[in-house]
A and B are shown apart, each in its own frame.
Chain A
Amino acid sequence: MGFSMLAPEYRVDRDKDRCIDCKVCVTQCPYDVHYFDEEEEKVFAREENCVNCHRCVVLCPTRALIIRKYPLEFRENSAWKDIDIRQLQKQAETGGILLSGMGNPKPLPVFWDKILLNASQVTNPSIDPLREPMELKTFLGRKPERLEIGCDGSLKTKISPQLELSAPVMFSAMSFGSISLNACRVLAEAAEQLGIYYNTGEGGLHQSLFKFADHTVVQVASGRFGVNSEYLKIGAGIEIKIGQGAKPGIGGHLPGEKVREEVAATRMIPLGTDAISPAPHHDIYSIEDLRQLIFALKEASDYEKPVSVKIAAVHNVAAIASGIARAGADIITIDGFRGGTGAAPTRIRDNVGIPIEFAISAVDNRLKEEGIRNQVSVVAAGSIRNSADIVKAVALGADAVYIGTAALLAMGCHLCRKCYMGKCSWGIATQQPHLVKRLNPEIGRERLVNLITGWKHEIKEILGGMGINAIDSLRGNRHMLRGVDLSSRELDILGIKAAGE
């Protein structure tokens, strides 16, 4: 590397009274921070390499390690904050685009936290989910405007294919390539166990995951990686990815070093070649092109799968969503500006898009006004952090949510945001065999199932408190929401009242 003006970001505090020089930190750090000095017979750290992934901290058997923010400060300047200066220095050294992993970390408002939920008192009873049934079952897919029922009660209307979810949550599109096969396996197994779905992302479907196909949404993105007839027919649903919240308008790039044998085979590309997904689909330059692709995919899958179209939440999201619905999509997926990614240009990630909360509200309103809201499903994504966020998203109008970052966190991700380096110390965002095996899918699956199981309990408690015993009755039920610390304009856009009103 040579000389660098960049000071370390973190310092490694090693408690010498606790450290037994067992070298676990040395074996576990993929960033070459810890090393054992044979002469001194002690472990030391190259702090400049530390990304604060916590692998060493968590595995240190004597709790001898703490990673702290490097205490060096620049002269105080409210315009030029430390991060601005550091990023600038980095670019001055490299001349490149700044890259980032995971979602937008900037201190922009998180509207979930400005929305509060309602509960029943006196005039209607709250319901105890431990004593009464509490239903979270959710169907995603196109619904007819009305049903025709014969006099004998028989169903005369044929219902389009649906995804049936035990709870309104799914695992976001994360490709094999951007994450490890073990991580994909965790998502697939957990989805199966939970009765929900995961999404392949643009990585194709690895042979070993075919058995989870009934819980798989297969994605078709601009690079068409891994897309073939079998792929389209085997999944439970198909998703056309137009955009992603973390990088609206930007394509994807999986560097060749991650395109190892299995990735290459699954994506159907040569070994070691860069996998580049173009920014647009080059066969979709307009809404009518999208319609053609939607129906091409339906045709290819015998009209047996619901087709979703995923877009990033951008300024005109409501109109775009309406167009997507009318183009024949059964599910519209909207990814907010805090959505995660394996790698995105930092400036794009931090500055493009709109919050998912507003996007849900705007889309739900628009579709309702057009009288087609009940006919399509809306899935919201991008920084759903907990069960309360899900409840708020559904109350704002989403049918279900996708979680990506939260699922990865459950598997072990510590949000160090260095996914793009391919050296994920938790075995998630990496293809290096010695790192991949760090994620035991069995443990990952248990943790992820635990998370969603916990969330289900919480959602049931919240619903019970509201006096509701089916998630259906929360959809678009904005009466259950009140805003705090929001301008009246923001309240209007969210379609909710201020707390106290």
Chain B
Amino acid sequence: MWGSRKRLNRKPIEGDVRIPSGCAVSGIMNKKGKLFSGETIIQSISIMRDRSNGLGGGFAAYGIYPDYKDFYALHMFFESEENQREVELYLKENFLVEKGERIPTRKVPVILDSPIIYRYFIKPRAEICEDVCMTPDEFMVRQVMFINSSFEGAYVSSSGKNMGAFKGVGYPEDIGEFYDLESYKGYLWTAHGRFPTNTPGWWGGAHPFTLLDWSVVHNGEISSYGTNRRYLEEFEYECSLQTDTEAATYLFDMLLRRHRLPLETACQVLAPPFWEEIERMPEKEKETARALRMVYGKGLLNGPFSIILGSTNGMVAINDRIKLRPLVAAEQGDMLYVASEEAAIIEVCACPSKVWTPRAGQPVIGRLEEVDSWVSVC
């Protein structure tokens, strides 16, 4: 079995305990929104096999459901059909379910214990949203958290529009093959290979972690996790997985969607400049930087990380403020590449026009050209 979180007498998994892990990350996008097959990202992540240990791999893909782009695409894992039935019943009560189908998979010998994997294209029922005074996005967020925490044997692996997360226990290239990602076409792909240190791995705990159309792949260990989590809990985010990726995703969601901070500002919250640097800034910049640290100090992600945030509108890659984890970026034409290692880029783009190592805390932002705001939902 794929390992339910709620099973008794099992080894602890994400959500029970904090599980540190090392990882490989990669992200590729076409800034003009041109679609390309998942083959490239599989190729890129597979070159960094040494950075994962077969206990988790996954992908996020954007632009893959153009036919259902107005619907939230709910990717789900179920432990059993009974679990699935319960959730489906619940979905029907609260959403318009346009379509529900098994996500096609292939048999791959090394991929074992896969759960029941489904996707639903849904819309929140307008009257219910109005009833609880929530935007559809807000409603979605609450519902996802509710399902994850309250339904036995069920887990939402992604819930954004025109995007999806494909993840599981195994090396990422095997997971890619398992989900047949070569047959999907997207304009933005991120991938993750995982190296957890003390767990057999759980499908739900694999990366990317997603919320609405945010997806986060992450390499690192956030030492400030306890602080970040309590801060998020104050804003009613339930960090049920206890993973850094989850916390990072929620922080992005809170800063960008709820607090409507500009993307660069949100990045500055996660990896703020040191006070010494702030003191040297021009007055206006300094004022903002001071205020951000004053108010969002608990949002600082402290400790080593490199993170790739995927969203409908583009991709952001960012390092911790003293660059304790690797991150390389490259450009070639409309294509933007970010990865843990340069090799993972060169593998899919032999001669990039520019390759660079982003400085600590300096985000690499890839924005879809026709988009001017990062916050897609208002």
User: Which residues in A have some Cβ–Cβ distance to B below 8 Å?
Assistant: 120, 123-125, 127, 132-133, 135, 137, 139, 143-144, 146-149, 151, 153-155, 157, 159, 162, 364, 368, 371-374, 395, 397, 466-470, 472-480
Contacts and interface: CB of A to CB of B under 8 A. Distances in A.
Interface stretch (B2-10, B95-103, B161-169, B224-232): B224-232
Interface stretch (B60-68, B171-179, B298-306): B298-306
A446 B21 CA distance: 46
B199 interface: no
B261 interface: yes
Interface of B: 18, 20-22, 197, 220-221, 223-228, 230-231, 233-236, 258-262, 264-265, 272, 274-276, 284-285, 287-288, 291-298, 300, 302-304, 321-322, 324
Contacts of A133: 274-276
Contacts of A149: 261-262, 265, 288, 292
B259 A147 contact: yes
30 contacts: A124-B220, A124-B221, A124-B223, A124-B304, A125-B324, A127-B322, A146-B261, A149-B292, A151-B262, A153-B285, A155-B288, A157-B291, A159-B291, A159-B295, A371-B235, A372-B234, A374-B234, A395-B226, A466-B223, A467-B221, A467-B302, A468-B224, A468-B303, A469-B302, A470-B272, A470-B302, A472-B227, A472-B298, A475-B227, A476-B231
A474 B230 CA distance: 11
A464 to B, nearest CB: 10
Nearest to A141: B294
A159 B228 CA distance: 22
Contacts of B272: 470
B291 A137 contact: no
B288 A154 contact: yes
A373 B302 CA distance: 20
A323 B234 CA distance: 17
Nearest to A125: B324
Contact of A371 (B22, B234, B296, B321): B234
Contacts of B220: 124
Contact of B236 (A162, A371, A372): A371
B302 to A, nearest CB: 4
A479 B229 CA distance: 10
B322 A373 contact: no
Given A374-B234, A468-B223, A476-B226, A125 B304 contact: yes
Nearest to A475: B227
5 smallest beta-carbon distances between A and B, as pairs: A472-B297, A473-B224, A479-B226, A477-B226, A473-B302
Contacts of A475: 227, 297-298
Nearest to A162: B294
Nearest to A118: B223
Nearest to A365: B230
A469 B321 contact: yes
Contacts of A478: 226, 230
A374 B300 CA distance: 14
A96 B210 CA distance: 69
A371 to B, nearest CB: 5
Given A147-B259, A468-B224, A123 B291 contact: no
Given A146-B259, A155-B287, A469-B321, 18 more contacts: A124-B303, A125-B324, A143-B294, A146-B295, A149-B262, A149-B292, A153-B284, A368-B234, A371-B235, A372-B234, A374-B234, A467-B221, A468-B223, A469-B322, A472-B302, A473-B227, A475-B297, A476-B230
A106 to B, nearest CB: 32
Which of B197, B292, B324 has the most A CB atoms < 10 Å from its CB?
B324
B192 to A, nearest CB: 17
Which of B20, B234, B274, B293 has the most A CB atoms < 10 Å from its CB?
B234
A371 B230 CA distance: 10
A479 B247 CA distance: 14
